[in-house]
Structure 1
Amino acid sequence: MPSRSYLSMCVSALGLSVLAAGQSLPVVDLFTSVHRGQVTGNATHGFYSFNNMPYAEPPVGPLRFRVPIPKITINRTVDDGTATPKICPQANAGWFGISIPFAIEQVTGSPPPPFPGPPPPDPRQNEDCLYVDVKSPRAVFESNRKNLPVLVWIHGGGFAGGSKNEVNPAGLIAQGLRDGKSGFVYVGINYRLGLFGFPPKGPADWDVATNAGLYDQRLALLWVQANIHKFGGDASKVTVIGESAGGSSIALQLTSFWGIDGSVPFKRAIIQSPAQRPATDATVYAAVHSQFLATAGVSSMNAARSLSYTALQNANLAIAGGSSFGHFTWGPNVDGFFIPDHLVRSLAQKRVDRNVEVLVTYTANESLIFTDPRVQDNTAFKAYFQGLLPSIPASKINTLATTVYPEDFSGAQPYTTQTQRLQLAIAESIVLCNAFATDIAYLNATRAGKFSVFPAIHANDVAFTFYNGEPVDGFGTPINGAIARQMQQWFSDYATVGTASGSSATIFPIYTNQAKILNITDTGNTVVQPDPASNPRCRFWIEGLYA
């Protein structure tokens, strides 16, 4: 009779989950690495966490600035996932020192405390950061299930910050398991950020992947396709969810290669506040290339590969820190490959994978944290957008200031002050018109919503999506637990059964040519039409800006 160890080896070779002899915690063999889960919660709503699993070779040394390579190095030591997680190198914009205190004052009605300045370096930061976390309901391993839906979280952070560890999915996972439901397998991913994820490219830099961070996301999603069955998930039932940069990342995945590369590796998408700086083309990134070489003191990107991590991170921080108001310098850019054209143009031309079901939402007050309160006249208004859109000719900026958002505070426009004018223009240019373009791309067949729960600022809805009993959000405003649990039910139903009969996600209306959206408020939810983003101003951002 074969030995127990021999049987375990055979089962592992088939890629199945096994319980190590004499242990109650499951072990998953990924061939290149082996991982033991850690238990969280009770048998009804609990899950096993498999943390810090590599999906790519470390993007260091010669692999810097390149398309990621799938993990091939083998390490057979069982990893229990309890080590300090690694996050990708972070960078913040200096204008946060103005915008965050302003936003706090607007939300609370009181003068903000002194801005603490940039946070100290996070010791978790490491170039070797391409890892995923997987959370599987306990019943998966206790009943050997292999067919649960999968929910993949793509974090935001302006493509310069954030990580898979910035949210706690326990509350969302528990919601998916309520009332006897089977739930879903949750996945969180890291992807390269800032200089490391979106390196600038010169004419001779044929091997620089200037959208490396998006390639990281795609490789992580392909890792899910290849491996999620080992954690009880079904690769044909993957939903991706992301907010801000995470939301626009999903839109960019949907438009990637204009469909030439085949179908995206997911079935459904929940796109929250798809924030994307407009008009980031080769011209813009050519200037960033020159800025980086001068800052780093090198003559080429190939030479930069030999710099120390500290030298590169210092350049990353310096360039992000000095960004014009409203953006982080680094980020997705039209490269002719992964991003063949500007996001909104690709969406408007319907160059997307239309086999995907899409739910799109945004918040009622998207622009507050991107607003420069010093903008108090037309000259400053134009200067703000010239800084945000350096490749756009002055004539277009003038059209923006005189025709699209005229300096008219009589009540004829949706604003009556300079600050409100700027906020509307920022919200529409960075988020709302991207959401509207996504609805257009899917022939108005998307489901759509607007998060209007006070204060409804950018990213406020993330605290509700990942609610786990916290009394307040990051701005110190109370979280309505009933609304949060309701949202979690919608999203978990969408991830598990889509908008099939009986799914609570059907509360989100089909967009249709009437531009219907669900307005989520403190006092209830109503379907409104037309969507505030369905307007001539967004037509300018989608069509007129690039004409």
Structure 2
Amino acid sequence: MGSIHRDDGNIRQRPAGITTVLLGDYRIEGFVSDSGVADYLGVPYAEIPARFRQARRIQSSKLKGTYDATRYGPICPQNIDVPRKWRDHLYQGIVSSDALLASEFECLNLNIYTPIECPGQPLPVFVWIHGGGWVVGDGGPEYDGNFLVQHSSKLGLPFIYVALNYRLGYFGFSYSKELRAEAVAAGEVPFANVGLYDQRLALMWVQENIHHFGGDRSNVTIAGESAGAWSVLAHLRSNAPLFRRAIIMSAPSLAPQGVEGAQRDFDGLLAFSGLDATASDRQKLDWLRNLSVNALLKVSPSSLIFPTWDPEWFGHEDSSLPLDKVGDFPNWCEGIIVGWTKDETALFGMVRGWNHWSIDMIQNAIRLAIPDMSLADEVLTAYNITNTPQDVKSALEGLIQFTSDGSFGSLMGSMRSYAATPISIYRFDQVDPFEQSPFLGYAYHALDNVFICRLPAVAGAEAPMQLRLTADAYTKSVCEFVHGRQPWVSSSSSQKIQSFNGFLTGLVEWTGLSQWSALATTADKAAMLERGARALMSIKAEQLC
């Protein structure tokens, strides 16, 4: 790969203040933003040889020429992120990801933000892995690092922020015996999830190159939200020590899907696209690689695709275990922050119309999702979803709390049981106060993303004071943690967790999820409840009539 020049449809014009980093004979030209932060955007870290194949890390220091890093690079092709559209009010003044180009083969790039005035010693590094169910999302302008890096310098805790892109959907998470055989024949380790491997390659690129930007490769913290947070767990379980600390925001308590399920998905994709079942392995792979990007997107899952179990990646043997329940974390991990939002599933529920359901519909949904009628009735009672005199809003809140506990909150119980690694737990209690928001009054899934990035709607001069206080407390904890300080007491030695909630921010007593714990008294019951909580997020109103 020689010198690279792009003349694509950029969303940011080349500014006057150019800043340059040299990697040997390779010159990366970025710019200094209005925030006084050096931006190096769209820097490629790996190349994709063919659809579904493992990417190959770019050895940037061996390149020659100049790379224009003043514009965001392409993102992975994807369908529309509907829940994100409902949150436009949080992204005022931020360029939408819809404005970015998409490219299946040029999407492996990262965005680097550094303080313009670096101290003499190398700076810690914060690497962001975006969420989106492994089917949507990117590390672009909606995770703009300028505000957070600027704030870290103001606090006297400066660091470098890196946000990465990786392959999504079938482009990054297809697996089959045919693909495994192809990888083995090519002399590769046959990883099941090339999208996760993309992330690893990005972390390896950081290890190899971040010192050119003033970063300390021995002092890296990785962070992610939702699917990005589960990805952080996957890296912790992979025994690849490419970082020292981890921040896990709203990770679902999920096990990888089995290889049998991945094969069924692969075979179904072939059948749906019209290929005869008698085709050879080579014909199958060629057929799928010849499909257009749009054709593949049309048959892709709209909201979630499960990564596949991979004995080449994971260090444990029981493939049925959610990653939070595997056991202690490796000793090279020095600390973890993990947390969830109080009303996680309000995001998914409102998009599905839960706020228009009657009490009877909510009850029917729970009975449909939990086939054991006795257990379903226990859920209705424990979460106060009954026909006794109450308004439907209380039943809705019970539904949100149950599904939030089962899909996200239950992870906190397993995380607090590990004593070998310092683990600090938080709950994000700050609600969305904007009158135009369909999620008014809820602390829902992904709301904290705009706070950790300090976007203007919640941390700018015109933002409500309550939100600014939450953003300040949240990002101060992040800055301290990136600099190696566990920002509040480890959960294994205390009943206290941190609550982020404006004026009320502080440590609070937390003995666990009381209603959930009263129901999940055995492993089998807990598994049934977790399956039911997840199933509720895919039930449609017409199924309840």
TM-score by length of 2: 0.74
User: Structure 1, residues 439-488: CA drift from partner, whole Å, max 9, x if none?
Assistant: 33455831111111113111111111111433599xx9997223212322
* Residue 297 (structure 2) aligned to one of 316, 325, 347: 316
1:161 is aligned to 2:139: no
Aligned counterparts of 1:290 and 1:452: Cα–Cα separation in 2? 43
Letter in 1 for 2:159: F
Match of 2:269 among 287, 292, 316: 292
On the 8 A contact 1:37/1:50 being kept in 2, the answer is yes
Q: Secondary structure at the match of 2:158?
A: coil
Q: State the partner residue of 1:226.
A: 208
- Provide closer, same or farther for how the CA distance between residues 358 and 197 of structure 1 changes in structure 2, counting only shifts above 3 A: same
Q: Which residue of 2 aligns with 1:449?
A: 426
Question: Is contact 2:466–2:503 with CA below 8 Å preserved after alignment?
Answer: no
Give the Cα separation in 2 of the matches to 1:378 and 1:24.
60
What is the CA distance between 1:86 and its match in structure 2? 0.8
SS in 1 for 2:237: helix
Q: Secondary structure at the residue paired with 2:299?
A: helix
Distance 1:398 1:281, change over 3 A: farther
Contact 2:167–2:195 (CA under 8 A) maintained in structure 1: yes
Residues 307-316 or 77-86, more deviating = 307-316
**Count of aligned positions:** 467
Give the match's secondary structure for 2:167: coil
Contact preservation (8 Å) 1:131, 1:189:
yes
Question: SS of 1:219's equivalent?
Answer: helix
SS in 2 for 1:161: coil
Structure 1 letter corresponding to 2:153: L
Contact 1:514 1:530 in 2 (8 A): no
Going from structure 1 to structure 2, the CA distance change for 1:362 and 1:60 (only over 3 Å counts) comes to same
Residue 471 (structure 2) aligned to one of 472, 475, 484: 484
Counterpart-to-counterpart distance in 2, 1:417 and 1:300: 56
| Deviation of 1:176 (Å) | 0.8
Q: 1:170 aligns with which of 146, 149, 155?
A: 146
Aligned residue in 2 for 1:4:
none
Q: Which residue of 2 aligns with 1:54?
A: 44
In structure 2, C-alpha distance between the alignment counterparts of 1:168 and 1:204, rounded to whole Å: 36
After superposition, where does 1:211-250 map in structure 2 within 5 Å? 211-250=193-232
Measure how far apart 1:151 and its partner are: 0.8
CA distance in 1, matches of 2:490, 2:328: 20
Residues 1:444 and 1:240: Cα distance change in structure 2 (over 3 Å): closer
SS at match of 1:175: helix
SS in 2 for 1:85: coil
8 Å Cα contact 2:328-2:421 kept in structure 1: no
1:128 is paired with a residue whose SS is coil
Structure 1 residue 377: deviation in Å?
5.2
- Tell me the residue number matched to 1:192: 167
Contact 1:255 1:347 in 2 (8 A): no
CA shift for structure 1 position 203: 6.3
Match of 2:536 in 1: none
Q: Give the alignment partner of residue 128 of structure 1, picking from 79, 91, 106.
A: 106
Gaps (5+ residues) in structure 1?
A: 1-22, 109-118, 322-326, 386-393, 500-504
Q: SS where residue 217 of structure 1 aligns?
A: helix
C-alpha displacement of 1:383: 4.3
Do the aligned partners of residues 159 and 382 (structure 1) sit closer, same or farther apart at CA in structure 2, a change above 3 Å counting? farther
Quote the Cα distance in structure 2 between the aligned partners of 1:27 and 1:301: 47
Q: For residues 498 and 170 of structure 1, do their structure 2 counterparts lie closer, same or farther at Cα, with a shift above 3 Å needed?
A: same
Cα RMSD (Å) of the superposition? 3.8
Paired residues of 1:509 and 1:527 also in contact (CA < 8 A):
no
CA distance in 2, matches of 1:238, 1:305: 39
Kindly state the Cα deviation for residue 314 of structure 1 after the two structures are TM-superposed.
2.4
CA 308–511 in structure 1, closer or farther in 2 if over 3 Å, else same: same
The 1:224/1:121 distance shift into structure 2, 3 A limit, reads closer
Superposed counterparts of 1:457-496, under 5 Å: 457-470=444-457, 480-496=467-483
1:359 corresponds in structure 2 to 337
SS at match of 1:164: coil
Give the aligned partner of residue 507 of structure 2: 527
Provide the secondary structure at the position in 2 that maps to 1:319: coil
Q: Which runs of 5+ in 2 are unaligned?
A: 1-15, 91-96, 184-189, 433-442, 531-545
Q: Determine if contact 2:380/2:386 at 8 Å carries over to the other structure.
A: no
Tell me: CA distance 1:128–1:380, structure 2 relative to 1, closer, same or farther (3 Å). same
CA distance in 2, matches of 1:66, 1:82: 29
Q: Is the 8 A contact 1:251 1:438 kept in 2?
A: no
Report the CA distance between 1:292 and its aligned residue: 1.4
User: What secondary structure sits across from 1:434 in the alignment?
Assistant: helix
Structure 1 residues 466 and 266: alpha-carbon distance in aligned structure 2, compared to 1, 3 A threshold: same
Q: 1:37 is aligned with what amino acid?
A: G
Give the stretch that moved more between structures: 220-229 or 350-359: 350-359
Which of 69, 72, 78 is matched with 1:90 structurally? 78
Deviations 1:3-57 (A, max 9, x none): xxxxxxxxxxxxxxxxxxxx9844334459531221123xxx6222122222112
In the other structure, the counterpart of 1:16 is none
Alpha-carbon spacing, 1:36–1:76, altered in 2? closer, same or farther (3 Å): same
Please list the CA deviations of residues 355-407 of structure 1 after superposition, one character each: whole Å capped at 9, or x if unmatched.
3200111111101122242582555335457xxxxxxxx6xx66763556668
Cα 1:78–1:543, aligned 2, differ >3 Å: closer, same or farther?
farther
Whole-angstrom distance in 1 between the partners of 2:387 and 2:331: 40
Cα gap change, 1:168 to 1:24, in 2 (>3 Å): closer
Query: Which range moved further: 229-238 or 517-526?
Result: 517-526
Whole-angstrom CA distance in 2 between matches of 1:462 and 1:224: 23
Identity %: 24
Q: Pairwise mapping of residues 113-152 of structure 1 onto structure 2 (< 5 A)?
A: 123-140=101-118, 145-152=120-127
User: Which letter maps to 2:485?
Assistant: G
Alpha-carbon separation, structure 2, partners of 1:130 and 1:451: 31
Q: CA shift at 1:426, angstroms?
A: 2.4
Amino acid at match of 1:77: G
- Within 1, Cα distance between the matches of 2:400 and 2:478? 29
CA–CA distance in structure 1, aligned partners of residues 447 and 402 of structure 2: 20
Measured in 1, the distance between the counterparts of 2:287 and 2:466 equals 47
1:253, distance to aligned residue in structure 2 (A): 1.0
Cα distance in 1 between the residues matched to 2:25 and 2:175? 32
Cα distance in 1 for residues equivalent to 2:29 and 2:503: 45
The answer on whether the counterparts of 2:17 and 2:32 sit within 8 Å (CA) in structure 1 is no
Change (3 A) 1:288 1:31: farther
TM-score (ref. length: structure 1): 0.74
For 1:71, the aligned partner's letter is I
CA drift at 1:531: 4.6
CA contact (8 A) 1:350 1:442 kept: no
1:228/1:235 contact within 8 Å kept: yes
Query: Structure 2 vs 1, CA of residues 366 and 229 (structure 1 numbering), >3 Å: closer, same or farther?
Result: same
Partner of 1:5: none
